[in-house]
Structure 1
Amino acid sequence: MTKKGNQFERYSRQIFIEEIGLEGQRKIMNAKVLVIGAGGLGSPVIQYLSAAGVGTIGVVDFDEVELHNLNRQVIHNEHSVGISKVESAGEFVKNLNHQVSFIKHHVKIDTSNAEELISDYGIMVDGSDNFTTRYLVNDTCVKLEKPLVYGSILGFSGQVAVFNIHGSKNLRDIFPEPPSDENLPDCDSLGVLGALPGIVGSMMANVALNIITDLPVPVNKLTLIDTFNWNFQTIDF
């Protein structure tokens, strides 16, 4: 068998972890994860889930790659500018791990398609950049009883949480109603240092892998990341 096809060798450093082992790797390879967004947070999530060997990764994004994305959206490159993010993400995954089944959803997730998209996957990872999508994904996961890994970033700050897993709380238990998107600060207006989404997205990917392999996850807790003061805090909700 060639090195390209040697699964044990490829994933050996995960398999060697006592809490994962062969059985955990099988769970990873049988998992179906939907990533909402192939941008700043979605990029490291897609990168590390595909590297870990997640069997099926679906990505929902309707945007095209733009030059200003490249300081943080590391799965895309200069040759990706002008093409859809899901196409660029698919090319990245194909080059990294041909064993992953990559499903492109080049659509905007909204009330007309959210249930259909989410129902096909076991775990959702939300890297969207607006409150309308975040609450839609949250509410749909609650309705369909699907676990959700949540993350957000702005400037030097980020958040990570797990919602709706084994009956746990969800986004509305922290913030019952979404704020208006009008006049809210975002990365387009205030910017973001490229490494921050790498940190937060990597944490999201790690949590997703813990869910897949039945390892502990932070339930009913919100992790706050402050890279300006280098402070990490977890609060209960």
Structure 2
Amino acid sequence: MGFLKLPSIDAPHLTTFAVALAASVATASSIFLAQHYSKHARIQRIKDEIAESLRNSIADFDDDSAEGALVGRGSGGSGGDKPAPALAEHLIREQLARNYAFLGEEGVTKVRGAFVIVVGLGGVGSHAAHMLLRSGVQRLRLIDFDQVSLSSLNRHAVATQADVGTPKSTCLQRHFGQIAPHVQIDARNELFNMDAAEELLSGEPDFVLDCIDNLNTKIDLIKYCKDNNIRIISSMGAGAKSDCSRIQIADISETFEDPLARATRRGLKLKGVESGVPVVYSTEKPGSVKLLPLEDDKVEEAEEYSALPDFRVRILPVLGTLPALFGNCMASYVITELAGWATEPLAIKGREKTYARLHRDMVNREKDQRGNAVAVPLNIADVGYVYEEIWRGRSAVSGSFDKPQIVRWDNSKPPSFQNLVCLTRPEAEKHDKIPPNRLAEHYPPEVIEYIEARFLEERRLNKWR
């Protein structure tokens, strides 16, 4: 058995090949090095511009000492009182480039011009404030009486071991100054209560974020904001929860399964507030997680360590990821609201039995009106989609949640995603008697326009279903 004989390559050809290979490698290396140094030079140029901008800003401060400059830089240049450093506008826009791409010029301008207050700077509040800062809000007031503890590092947005023992408000102020030194940070190391409410919430804030875990203080804050027409979003209980898929935003009147939400809802009702408060909460039912006993040296301060009124001397275990998600949900909601970016939070209530009843009632209505031969082309899941996502679980005519029914809008057309509306039972009974060509005679123009707009949106979205 012989070996395969390779073709011979004479010396001139081998030399030519080697020269070509060396030239290709040299060219590729040159291109790579040029790109590398170009990128490095651009990054260094931006860093130099930032440093120069900060030096020019710090030079304008009254305190010319090195310590004063560092304090100004760490507090967004304000220390709570002084104006923020005049970081070059093009650098700020570069830092917010993705926000401009998403929200547009007008949207980001509104966000940057907003004044937002965050009350409670623990796991939820620190993450909410952190993302508000990174998203462009240039005036933040941070309120909390407490200090950073070692055990809170599992859920705090920016605190490190070096921050343990320092006030949470000044901890955030210092770290935020390194992220966005042009932002004005007003840090308040104070406990919110009704006596201090007017001062702490002064300045006509565009939004207040309630990240407090003490029930009575939470109710007082929400009530004050409602009475003074201050927009507020509130966080419910993130403790003892682990299922991130259960987190949602809803009006407090529509919450369920959350003990803190239930207690807050009842407390607000006693004060005359039943709805109109958006909240972030979880529908997850408490599992096998057990309450921890309060440490001996903190029993005297037990009320400040309780998320619920029934647990005065015990602590709810917290998985650090859940408070972070709550805080980011709150920040996202506030940013889109400030920017005028339309969203429609959908309250998912796990209402499979409701969907089954709606489907059964619709089938029975079809049979009664058109005979047993009529087939309904929608299943229970489809009816749930119509009810929840198209009509948001309420009547298309009155907005009522009471006794919902799914019926044809135009009785001359078959039932479909673009021809089914949600009505209350009395509304449905009246609607069934209206001839298809006389709908405009029985409903106001704004109702007709609203329903047609929802159908148009559904037609646009239906291609993705």
Q: Give the TM-score, by structure 2 length.
A: 0.43
**Is the 2:215–2:309 Cα contact (8 Å) retained in structure 1?**
no
1:209 matched to which residue of 2?
A: 335
With 25-34 and 176-185 compared, the bigger mean Cα shift is at 176-185
Higher helix share: 2
**Identity of paired residues, percent?**
25
1:194 and 2:279 are equivalent in the alignment: no
Aligned residues: 217
For residue 115 of structure 1, report the CA deviation from its aligned partner. 2.5
Mapping of 1:1-237 within 5 angstroms?
A: 2=46, 4=50, 5=88, 6-17=91-102, 20-120=103-203, 121-152=205-236, 153-156=238-241, 160-161=249-250, 175-177=265-267, 181-184=308-311, 189-218=315-344
For residue 72 of structure 1, report the CA deviation from its aligned partner. 0.2
Which entry has the higher C-alpha Rg, 1 or 2? 2
**Is the 1:53–1:99 Cα contact (8 Å) retained in structure 2?**
no
Q: Give the TM-score, by structure 1 length.
A: 0.81
**Is the 2:145–2:189 Cα contact (8 Å) retained in structure 1?**
yes
Deviation digits for residues 10-52 of structure 1 (CA, Å, limit 9, x no counterpart): 11111112xx211111111111000011101011111101111
The one-letter code sitting in structure 1 at the alignment partner of 2:267 is E
**Is the 2:128–2:327 Cα contact (8 Å) retained in structure 1?**
yes
Q: Which stretches of structure 1, 4 residues or longer, exceed 6 Å deviation after superposition?
A: 233-237
**Is the 1:109–1:133 Cα contact (8 Å) retained in structure 2?**
yes
Separation (CA, whole Å) in 1 of partners of 2:155 and 2:337: 26
For residue 223 of structure 1, report the CA deviation from its aligned partner. 7.0
Identify if the C-alpha distance between structure 1 residues 222 and 139 changes in structure 2 by more than 3 Å, giving closer, same or farther: farther
For residue 150 of structure 1, report the CA deviation from its aligned partner. 1.1
Higher strand share: 1
For residue 184 of structure 1, report the CA deviation from its aligned partner. 2.8
The one-letter code sitting in structure 2 at the alignment partner of 1:184 is F
Secondary structure at the aligned position of 2:187 is classed as strand
**Is the 1:110–1:136 Cα contact (8 Å) retained in structure 2?**
yes
The one-letter code sitting in structure 1 at the alignment partner of 2:95 is R
Deviation digits for residues 139-172 of structure 1 (CA, Å, limit 9, x no counterpart): 0111110111111212116664467xxxxxxx89
Q: Which runs of 5+ in 2 are unaligned?
A: 1-44, 51-87, 253-260, 271-306, 350-387, 394-400, 402-465
